[in-house]
Chain A
Amino acid sequence: MLRFNILVFACLTYATLLFVVAFWAEKRAEAGRLGWLRSPIVYTLSLSVYCTAWTFYGAVGYAVRSGLEFVSIYLGPSLMMIGWWWILRKLVRIGRTHRITSVADLISSRYGKSTTLGVLVTLLAVIGTTPYIALQLQSVATSFAVFGVNDPTGAVQTDLDKTALWVAAGLALFTILFGTRNLDANERHHGVVTAIALEAVVKFFALVCVGLFVVWGLTDGWGDLIDRIDASPVSSHPISGTRWITITMLSAAALITLPRMFQVLVVENSDENHLFTAGWFFPLYLFGMSLFVIPIAVVGLQVLPDGSNPDMFVLTLPLHYDQRFLATFSFLGGFSSATSMVIVAAIALSTMVSNHIVMPIWLKARKGGATVSGDVRSVVLYARRLSIFGVLALGYLYFHFSGGSEALASIGMISFTGVAQVLPAMLGGIFWRGATRVGAILGVVIGFVIWAYTMFLPSFGEAAGFTAELMAEGPLGIGLLRPQALFGVTGVDPVVHAVAWSLAINTLVFLLGSLFSFPRPVERLQGAQFVNVFEHSGTARGWSHGFAETEDLLVMAQRILGASEAQALFHAAAAEQGKEGYLPDATPEFIERLERKLAGSVGAATAHAMLAQIAGGVLVSVEDLMAVADETAQMMEYSNQLEMKSEELSRTARKLREANEKLTQLSIQKDAFLSQISHELRTPMTSISAFSEILRSAGQEGDLDAESLERFSSIIHDEALRLTRLLDDLLDLSVLESGSVSLNWTRTNLHDVIDRAMGAVMQGRDGVGIRIERNEFSEHIAMETDADRLSQVFINLITNARKYCDAEQPTLKIQVRRIGQDDVQIDFIDNGTGIPADKQTVIFEKFSRITDHAKAGSAGLGLAICREIMANLGGTIAYLPGQGGAAFRLDLPRVRTR
């Protein structure tokens, strides 16, 4: 017999292995070397979270109790998968196009990004899934107990409750570690998926091994087996036609409506073409998982003592024959089934809860919502982590208070029926443009109520007030409202009864509600985009002309996506529009694109609400609606072509406009240049001339005291120096501009260059005068450059910050990053008010100064010189908007580019 502590050891080793595998996959994903990790096989294996402990242990028990009927739970998903061209392909495409993060997000997004629907579906999912999680905890705890009972020392007292608590805590840790690494739910959780795939392999082979052991070890092969099946009580159960059909369809629906299934099928899908493989490979997996269930049930009933729990045959059969290794393997299989379900379900639910419940409340609670400062990412991440914890805590509490009762056994079907209530809204949403938000809300609510009344609450029995009397005679003696014989429909199986009534009335109300309500414009737009997702992938849009300040959008995007990703997105969009810098025009296309990107992180409804706060309400233009209205492929194609042409035209126009603006500005500036030079030269000259004249006359008349004499001479001296500096700058600039400057390329450490610049600034009259934040560690980058010139740029930027930063406690952050192998990025960010958008394009021009020159004390050539130096060093300098202060970004090659 197997020692219990060996089992615990195996279990912990296995859990460690999962951590290692998940960690390894995350590392590979970060390095961008996923390779086979994103193969269709891994995708298909991850779908196996469909097979929970309910399958692994429960299927045999189900077969013992009801015969062949158990298999309908796997036939349904097989049908859905084999017919993937119908529904799954569309769901996956929609999920990818609209960056859908969960079932709730899909429904909410389809029906006009409705917050109400998001909340409803989330609640439904949480209520439907919690008991199911409890079931998993129970099965792990029970399987431990089986070993405890069988321990030869007899010293092990397994406390079901404590085991469940430990398992729940471990799962919470794992899920938080690997499920909330990145915010974008649309970016795959490679670590989790890989670990799930491994668990899929383990549970499959565990069950198959037990099956093979039974078939080849305990019977005389298939022929004998079939005879035994014929003779066994297992196959004497009649198949109930209504249950057979109902459960097949219900489980088919479960494949797309269960939150965890939606998560692995749609959200984690990295390539639509994976469906080509999953379409047959997943049914094959289910086939393998089901094949040995009946044999195990038949043999288990024959050989095991009467009264053995059939739910544990998978474990007790090997134990009965003292097959320690097989029993341990089988135990790990069950453990895998339970944990993988809980992990994925917790991720899926936490995404829903944080996106559809926490975020809307958070947005409402903070007046000004999206525009206030603060990091939204951390809010979302904490919301996710707390939700994961909450979901597992709920599961555990449910287990604890239901006492691991028999009621849990039927919970699988109850859960399936609960989440299936979103089916009408989901299918209606992707196939019927006439489906409306009102219909969807009504349908989901009514379906939910009927499900709760006929199935969910009665499962609690007396505890929920569903006494035998109420079940038999109806509330207040109203026979028509008997929970399991609604409207006088008697003699039907309770499951069939609940499924039929809830889904039928749900569908009816959904259809009627849709027919008699009028959709809002956003709904119509989303409806058309969902239904026709294959015809136009994201051409229509929900934003008419943007009133948004791009800089505000950037600020918000940075807080959700993180600075570098948001900047890259804006930079790319600006480049596509033919613009330089980080601020594209807030065109409707751009806002739409941004919204989708944000939706991948916080869900469509929240993303839309946040953008609406900045862009000032949602306007759908007539053209947009017309784009929705024209349906023929020809029209679409023609307008697509036109759109492409007009897009190209507008891009060219934008480029021209920008070039023209620049030219005009340049000519004005060239013109102003002479005036400026004159001004900059004459101003110090005036002081010099005036004071020297004063001194001269004082020399003649002797009426000046010594103090004034000294002061006036020092003014003359200072002004002369100022003139010299100006001339130096001008000469420097002209040399740099002509490209004839000789640079002194050497190998140097960036950290030393910054140090040198700091030293030079500190030597000046005013010291540093501003707090500098550096991360010296990241600055140690070896590079080939002209250290003197580069430090000249740094000096300029530091003195600029010192001069212009108007914060109470001026602070300058210097951030150094390596970009890939060959580039270095250095940001100088202060905490002042920054530079207004209209000035940002001219600050690098000569003599452009945006404050008065008395304060500046220089001629406004600093940034122009910086720009020329950077160009000579093969890099760029740009103003980086949206950082909360003035920010300059330097991009430099690490080695000299020739």
Chain B
Amino acid sequence: MGKRVLLIEDEPNIIEAIRFILSRDGWTVEVHSDGASAVDAVDRKQPDIVILDVMLPNKSGFDILRDLRAAPEHAARPVLMLTARGQKKDRDMAEAAGVSHFMTKPFSNSEMLDVVRGLAQQPTDGGDA
């Protein structure tokens, strides 16, 4: 049984792309599209890796990340953040919030796969990816 990824994203086409890329590599991909209930979803599903978009309905990815890091059980959970805004400011904010890895859209599929595999191997090593 492969490891589980929780993808928090609201663009249907991007969801479909990531789901395809990861599941072909043996990952189980679950999806959540709403910002406000994202932390609950993580609580419930306990994924090995969280892929988090920044621009989400109702709550921004940064806020979700901060809330996750504030909870002890999620403090070390690997979180890969995706953003389409791609300014340095965003990267700084993400790192301040305790992101495991930060990627700008559009991404290369193979790079995405590499990052996810890498994050899965060092689960306790959050924060300085």
Contacts and interface: CB of A to CB of B under 8 A. Distances in A.
Decide if A and B are genuine partners.
Answer: yes
Interface string B1-30: 000000000111110111011000000000
A703 B104 CA distance: 28
B70 interface: no
A594 B16 CA distance: 56
A854 B85 contact: no
Contact of A851 (B14, B33, B56, B57): B57
B45 interface: no
A557 to B, nearest CB: 34
Contact of A675 (B87, B105, B107, B109): B87
A685 interface: yes
B84 interface: yes
B106 interface: yes
Given A682-B86, A683-B84, A690 B11 contact: no
B55 interface: yes
A202 B10 CA distance: 81
Interface string B26-60: 00000001000000000000000000000111100
B108 interface: yes
Contact of B55 (A679, A691, A694): A679
7 contacts: A678-B87, A682-B84, A688-B106, A690-B107, A852-B56, A853-B10, A854-B57
A689 interface: yes
A719 B85 CA distance: 18
A715 B13 contact: yes
A690 B10 contact: no
Most chain B beta carbons < 10 A, residue from A688, A690, A697, A854: A690
B108 A686 contact: no
A686 B105 contact: yes
Contact of B21 (A694, A715, A718, A719): A694
Interface in A651-693: 674-675, 678-679, 682-691, 693
A689 B106 contact: yes
Interface residues of B, number: 27
A675 B83 CA distance: 10
Given A682-B105, A690-B18, A854 B84 contact: no
Given A679-B55, A694-B21, A852-B57, A687 B86 contact: no
Given A683-B11, A683-B14, A854-B12, A690 B109 contact: yes
Contacts of A684: 13
A36 to B, nearest CB: 65
Interface in B59-100: 84-87, 90
A693 to B, nearest CB: 5
A211 B20 CA distance: 108
Interface bin, chain A: 20 to 34
Contact of A685 (B10, B55, B87, B106): B106
Nearest to B89: A675
A687 B13 CA distance: 6
A688 B13 CA distance: 9
Given A678-B85, A682-B84, 4 more contacts: A685-B106, A689-B107, A690-B107, A719-B13
A687 B15 CA distance: 9
B107 A686 contact: yes
B106 A690 contact: yes
A683 B87 contact: no
Given A687-B17, A694-B20, A854 B11 contact: yes
Nearest to B109: A693
A678 B86 contact: yes
B106 A682 contact: yes
A218 to B, nearest CB: 96
Given A852-B57, A854-B11, A854-B57, A690 B21 contact: yes
Interface of B: 10-14, 16-18, 20-21, 33, 55-58, 84-87, 90, 104-110
A209 B10 CA distance: 91
Given A682-B106, A851-B57, A690 B14 contact: yes
Contacts of A674: 87
Contacts of A688: 106
Interface string A165-182: 000000000000000000
Q: What 10 pairs between A and B have smallest CB-CB spacing? A: A852-B57, A690-B17, A682-B84, A689-B106, A687-B13, A686-B106, A686-B105, A679-B84, A675-B85, A693-B109
Nearest to A719: B13
A574 B91 CA distance: 43
Contacts of B14: 683, 686-687, 690
A679 B104 CA distance: 10
Given A682-B86, A682-B105, A852-B10, A694 B57 contact: no
Given A693-B108, A694-B17, A854-B11, A686 B57 contact: no
A177 B18 CA distance: 72
Nearest to B55: A679
A697 to B, nearest CB: 8
A849 to B, nearest CB: 10
Nearest to B84: A682
Nearest to A674: B87
A244 to B, nearest CB: 84
B19 to A, nearest CB: 11
Contacts of A678: 84-87
A685 B105 contact: yes
A694 B84 contact: no
A853 B53 CA distance: 13
A684 B106 CA distance: 9
B94 to A, nearest CB: 14
Contacts of A687: 11, 13-14, 17
A697 B108 CA distance: 12
Contacts of A691: 13, 17
Nearest to A703: B24
Given A854-B10, A854-B11, A683 B17 contact: no
Interface in A45-66: none
A686 B109 CA distance: 10
Nearest to A849: B57
Contacts of A715: 13, 16
Nearest to A708: B20
A691 B33 CA distance: 20
Contacts of A719: 13
Most chain A beta carbons < 10 A, residue from B55, B57, B86, B105: B105
Interface string A708-746: 000000010011000000000000000000000000000
Contacts of B20: 694
A718 B11 CA distance: 13
A647 to B, nearest CB: 42
B105 to A, nearest CB: 4
A214 to B, nearest CB: 91
Contacts of A718: 13
Contacts of A854: 10-12, 33, 57
Interface string A798-838: 00000000000000000000000000000000000000000
Contacts of B107: 686, 689-690
Contacts of B56: 852
A718 to B, nearest CB: 8
A852 B58 contact: yes
Contacts of B58: 852
A21 B100 CA distance: 86
Nearest to A690: B17
Contacts of B11: 683, 686-687, 854
A691 B86 CA distance: 20
Most chain A beta carbons < 10 A, residue from B16, B33, B56, B110: B16
A838 to B, nearest CB: 16
A718 B108 CA distance: 20
Nearest to B110: A693
A688 B14 CA distance: 9
Most chain B beta carbons < 10 A, residue from A674, A682, A689, A854: A854
Contacts of A690: 14, 17-18, 21, 106-107, 109
B85 A694 contact: no
A691 B55 CA distance: 21
A686 B84 contact: yes
